[in-house]
Amino acid sequence: MLGGRLLLRLCYYYDMVVVSVDRDKCIGCGLCTGTCSECFEMGGDNIARAIKNKCDTCDLKEIADACPVSAITVK
C-alpha cells in the first residue's frame, strides 16, 4: 500500500502516467487487449492487466473510457 502511494507521488512529480486494471471490475471482454496488445494482456484467469504506461500507437485514455465496466484507470 505504501509502495503504491509512493509510486503515484513519484509519477505525479515526474509527470508520468500510471495505467492500471481493477481486477475486481474486469469482466474479461477483451476490448483493451484487442485494441492494443502492447499495453494490455489477458491473464490466464481472463482478467486483463496493463503492461505499459505509455504508448505511441494507442490512446490509453480512450481505451479506458471505452472499457464497459470502467475497470481501467489512467492517472
Torsion from C-alpha of 60, 66, 67, 73, nearest 10 degrees: 40
Residue 43 near ligand F3S by CB under 6 A: no
- Interface with ligand F3S (CB under 6 A), residue from 11, 18, 20, 29: 29
Residue 60 near ligand F3S by CB under 6 A: no
As a whole number of angstroms, the distance between CA 15 and CA 70 comes to: 23
Residue 72 near ligand F3S by CB under 6 A: yes
Label residue 46 exposed, middle or buried (CB < 10 Å: 0-12, 13-18, 19+). exposed
Residue 74 near ligand F3S by CB under 6 A: no
List of residues contacting ligand F3S (CB under 6 A) = 21, 26-32, 48, 67-69, 71-72
